[in-house]
Amino acid sequence: MIHLTRRELETLNFWATGFSDKKTAEAMCISVHTAKAHGFAVRMKLGAQTRTQAVVMGVQAGIINIDL
């Protein structure tokens, strides 16, 4: 099972809603640099090369849900 920290999970959920790194940082009250670091950790833990791929893999793994 893949373990994401609370902040990594928040980042993944913001990506799923289409947030940029800047918007994610603003929503989480952190720097853009820190948001990018969380995003990098998410991609590495999921084995994804892009944020889109990370979101898809997160949904497939049951880590996040997307309401269509």
pLDDT at residue 67 in the model: 80
Q: Is residue 39 part of a domain?
A: yes
- Name every residue whose Cβ is closer than 8 Å to that of residue 68 and which is 6 or more positions away in sequence: none
Range of the domain at 46: 6-60
Q: Is residue 22 part of a domain?
A: yes
Q: Is residue 1 part of a domain?
A: no
Tokens 């989480």 label which residue? 28
* Reported confidence tier of residue 2, pLDDT bands at 50, 70, 90: confident
Is the full-model pTM beyond 0.75? Answer: yes
Q: Which residues of 16-44 are buried (b: 16+ CB within 10 A; e: fewer)?
A: beebebeebbeebebeeebbeebbeebbe
Q: Is residue 26 part of a domain?
A: yes
